[in-house]
Amino acid sequence: MTTKDMSGIRILYRRVQYVICWTNKSSMIVKDNRVTPPSDSARPGRPKDRAKHAAILQAARTLFGRQPFDVVTMEAVAAQAGVSKMTVYSHFHDKETLFETLVGAIADQMIAALSGPEHQDASLRERLEAVGCDLLGVLLGPGVCEMAHTLPGTLRTNRTLALRFYNAGPGRVRAALAAIVADAAARGELAVDDPRLAAEDLVCLWEGNRPAMTTFGLAEPASPEEIRQRAVRGTDIFLRAYRQIS
């Protein structure tokens, strides 16, 4: 299989870069130390006002959580953020770039939780429970489920945009979790045939139907205790299914 036959997402975990690649039939995770993710300082362009940048993202998160993607305008985002439309466009070329950046920022928050150093010395069960709590704290928190609900109509008619948004957010988070699963399998702690699919199993066990309930307004954002219970229960079932038997 050549590189051009695969699509892939790169993720840094424990200072090792993993590349998760898949086709319609299979997937694999490989280590790749040749590529170093660019640092913020290496990115070209004039520095932006961080406070205004954050205000615009927060305004966009609020509006995209309330209204369909197609309805939200850059003018509305500017008004919500208390800045001019020109300022919004100076930070984000268009609405698609703004939303992609917002999705990426939420993904960054979840990936930081996945690879935090505070989890590295714990047992596999403790690590997964802690990661589950951190991940669900974002996924089931205010705004994220509602924001996801505003997109389906737009994405069904624009596959390129759908892939762009997926790779910026959910794809990166799934790849990060798959890297954790692959790392545990390499150490003999788990027996998995496909780390990517196993990671999807784990997320489903953690979430259950909670995102759908929140999206349709049938449940409030999850409490810390509910999140902890879901993380513990989902991890327990996952380990019973995938624990390496000696």
Distance CA 156, CA 139 (A): 22
Residue, of 203 and 45, whose pLDDT is higher: 203
Domain boundary among 36, 70, 92: 92
Looking at the structure, do residues 88 and 148 belong to the same domain, yes or no? no
Question: Does 170 fall in a domain?
Answer: yes
Check residue 81 and give its pLDDT: 94
Domain boundary among 39, 70, 92: 92
Looking at the structure, do residues 88 and 109 belong to the same domain, yes or no? no
Looking at the structure, do residues 82 and 186 belong to the same domain, yes or no? no
Q: Residue 113's domain is classified under what CATH number?
A: 1.10.357.10
Digit-coded pLDDT (tens) for 38-65: 444 444 555 568 899 999 999 988 888 7
Looking at the structure, do residues 58 and 122 belong to the same domain, yes or no? no
Check residue 134 and give its pLDDT: 84
Looking at the structure, do residues 111 and 88 belong to the same domain, yes or no? no
Looking at the structure, do residues 84 and 196 belong to the same domain, yes or no? no
Kindly indicate the confidence band of residue 194, based on its pLDDT and cuts at 50, 70 and 90.
very high
Check residue 182 and give its pLDDT: 94
Helix or strand (DSSP H, E) at 11: strand 7-13
Residue, of 83 and 37, whose pLDDT is higher: 83
Place of tokens 């924001």: 147
Q: Residue 74's domain is classified under what CATH number?
A: 1.10.10.60
Does the pLDDT value for residue 74 go beyond 70? yes
Looking at the structure, do residues 207 and 159 belong to the same domain, yes or no? yes
Strand partners, 18: 11, 31
Average pLDDT of the segment spanning 174-179: 90
Residue, of 68 and 154, whose pLDDT is higher: 68
Counted domains in the chain? 2
Tokens representing 118 are 């505070």
Looking at the structure, do residues 116 and 237 belong to the same domain, yes or no? yes
Residue 196 belongs to domain spanning = 105-242
Question: Does 122 fall in a domain?
Answer: yes
